[in-house]
Structure 1
Amino acid sequence: MPRSSKNNKPQLWHPRLWPSWAIVFVLYLLSFLPMSAKQRLGKRLGLLLSRKLKSRAHVADRNLAICFPELDEEARKQLAQDNFVACSRGFLESTHAWWRDVSPYCQAAEVHGLEHLREAQNKGKGVLLIGGHYSIFDFALPLVACHLKKPGYVYRPNNNPVIDRMIENGRRRHFGIRPFTKRELRPMVSFLKKGGEVWFACDQDFGGKTELFVPFFGVETGCITSPSYIAKVSGASVLCVSHLRMPDGGYRVVFSPVQEGFGADKQKDTEIWNRYIEDTVREQPDQYLWLHKRFKTRPEGADKIY
């Protein structure tokens, strides 16, 4: 009888994973750098990666070409390079969130729309926070969670068990935050019904799980409708949330007004959160994860983008 894939996964200390442990150790050491040094190193790393990772640079260029057709080639190239820098800085900021004290940044971050979050919390039926993949990555989690009473988040486990352990341990050390994989919809709904608050970034291409297409920067973009289902069955209030690194080096978190009636119309719901992300990205276009193949899944008959 064949062994399950779960049983075939190597143990954490298997020799095959020793290089992964070495990577974790290096990242742990990098986490001790002052934040200013992380930002400088992130800039150098981003400039280097923009030249070395040609396939990712091509993805970013294609994304920017269809989302910002008004940009000429030189401006687009510069924006792609800025995006590499922003994402590299975000990766190093994540090491800070995994191992260092983030409370000073939670206190210093500029926050808008906190009254909307409080309104949703006071309804007592849980809060679903729909976010996006902006460049500050895991550093954003405590910046948002520090304003929540019973925080949770949705994640996809990393295929490497050592890297997954590093990331998830780093995330879960903040504010008693509770994780949910995308397969754990039932316990997530139960958590929301009991007043929990769940952050869910659903703005990636899920391939065969794509359920509908909505405009995003004028491009028909494949999306899932899980947020609508979760809101409908849990009764949770729905807000959109953004988290950006600002040009002055500070951080800003924005909570949208409560999205009334969310869950009744999947098409309308999906258009709402895509429009919110688009508006946020237009404000700071280098801060989005343009390195991801967001438009890989295409409507029937549409030309491929990558």
Structure 2
Amino acid sequence: MSNSGKKNKRPLWHPVYWPSWLIVLALYLLSLLPMAAKQRVGTRLGCFLERKLRSRARVADTNLAACFPELSESDRKQLVQDNFIACTRGFLESTHAWWRDMSSYCDSAEILGLEHLEEAKAQNRGVLLIGGHYSIFDFALPLIACKLDKPGYMYRPNNNPVIDRMIENGRRRHFNIRPFSKRQLPKLMTFLKDGGQVWFACDQDFGGKTDVFVPFFGVEAGCITSPSYIARKSGAAVICVSHLRLADGRYRVAFSPIQEEFGQDETRDAEIWNRFIESTIREHPDQYLWLHKRFKSRPEGAASLY
């Protein structure tokens, strides 16, 4: 048996996981901070991480240079720092969602396009909500789920089982939300056919799983076609969704109109959700996960960006 296989068989209380449990404890204690304190800590910690995580800062800078060539170098450098701050704040906001009460944030969130979601639910079929990796991360999940009748989400399990348990327990405590991994597509299809609504952030570069290349801010980006497959096989209505932090401390969730004929043309489908994500990013360019190598996969013959 491989070392990774042996590791996966270890119980969660095994000494090898004790450092992970200390991380969970530290994050739990951070979750107890008032939200205003989380924002202040996020700002300071984000500035610190931008200085220390130079390789990740270079990834963000490369992404921004490719997507916003009109920015001056000084403006781009400032946007890199702002992105670290936004993402660090988002991580601390996620700890709030994992352990604290979210009802006041669900009540105060600004909701745009709710009529589109209601129209989709009235059609008595499932709804596939295509999202992106904006900076409020898991904090967004209950903000979206509170508007759904039968919520679910697609996820990739964390490699560390202790951290995975922390994240998934935190997500599943809200609104009886159902999780589905990539290995549970048949269950996901059944859930959608029974009228479920599933959130799927499909905008990252999945390397070897790249199926098509579609421009993202004018740069060819590798995209998966599983959203098209899911929509086609389940008959679900497809809506794009975004979630942002507003300057006044509230949050905003926006639902697009139903994307008609989604699932018939995989390249067109990827263009649809890429354009939606682009329009959201242009409003708040610091609130996207630029730290991820979005252009890791390249078309044949194209040079690497990183």
TM-score of the superposition, structure 1-length normalised? 0.98
Which residue identity lines up with residue 116 of structure 2 in the other structure?
A: H
Equivalent position of 1:62 in the other structure: 62
1:28-177 map, 5 Å = 28-177=28-177
Deviation digits for residues 83-122 of structure 1, max 9, x if unmatched?
0000000000000000000000000000000000000001
Equivalent position of 1:22 in the other structure: 22
Which residue identity lines up with residue 295 of structure 2 in the other structure?
A: F
In structure 1, what is the Cα distance between the partners aligned to 2:297 and 2:198?
27
Equivalent position of 1:224 in the other structure: 224
Which residue identity lines up with residue 137 of structure 2 in the other structure?
A: F
Query: Relative to structure 2, which stretch is displaced further, 76-85 or 241-250?
Result: 241-250
Deviation digits for residues 45-75 of structure 1, max 9, x if unmatched?
0000000000000000000000000001100
In structure 1, what is the Cα distance between the partners aligned to 2:32 and 2:280?
31
How far the C-alpha of 1:167 sits from its partner, in A, is 0.2
How far the C-alpha of 1:184 sits from its partner, in A, is 1.4
Equivalent position of 2:200 in the other structure: 200
* RMSD (Å) for aligned C-alpha atoms: 1.0
Which residue identity lines up with residue 159 of structure 2 in the other structure?
A: N
Which residue identity lines up with residue 187 of structure 1 in the other structure?
A: K
- Structure 2, gaps ≥5 residues long: none
Deviation digits for residues 22-63 of structure 1, max 9, x if unmatched?
010011011110000000000000000000000000000000
Query: Relative to structure 2, which stretch is displaced further, 61-70 or 241-250?
Result: 241-250
1:12 aligns with 2:16: no
- What secondary structure does 1:95 align onto? helix
- What secondary structure does 1:55 align onto? helix
Q: Percent identity?
A: 73
1:237-256 map, 5 Å = 237-256=237-256
- What secondary structure does 2:93 align onto? helix
- What secondary structure does 1:125 align onto? coil
In structure 2, what is the Cα distance between the partners aligned to 1:81 and 1:136?
16
- What secondary structure does 1:183 align onto? helix
- Structure 1, gaps ≥5 residues long: none
How far the C-alpha of 1:6 sits from its partner, in A, is 4.5
Distance 1:211 1:36, change over 3 A: same
1:237-276 map, 5 Å = 237-276=237-276
Deviation digits for residues 119-141 of structure 1, max 9, x if unmatched?
00011110000000000000000
Equivalent position of 2:236 in the other structure: 236
In structure 2, what is the Cα distance between the partners aligned to 1:56 and 1:249?
27
- What secondary structure does 2:183 align onto? coil
- What secondary structure does 1:134 align onto? coil
- What secondary structure does 1:57 align onto? helix
How far the C-alpha of 1:186 sits from its partner, in A, is 1.1
Equivalent position of 1:214 in the other structure: 214
Deviation digits for residues 175-228 of structure 1, max 9, x if unmatched?
000000112111101100000000000000100000000010000100000000
Equivalent position of 1:290 in the other structure: 290
TM-score of the superposition, structure 2-length normalised? 0.98
Deviation digits for residues 255-286 of structure 1, max 9, x if unmatched?
00000110111111110000000110011000
How far the C-alpha of 1:248 sits from its partner, in A, is 2.1
How far the C-alpha of 1:3 sits from its partner, in A, is 6.6
How far the C-alpha of 1:11 sits from its partner, in A, is 1.6
Which residue identity lines up with residue 118 of structure 1 in the other structure?
A: E
- What secondary structure does 2:286 align onto? helix
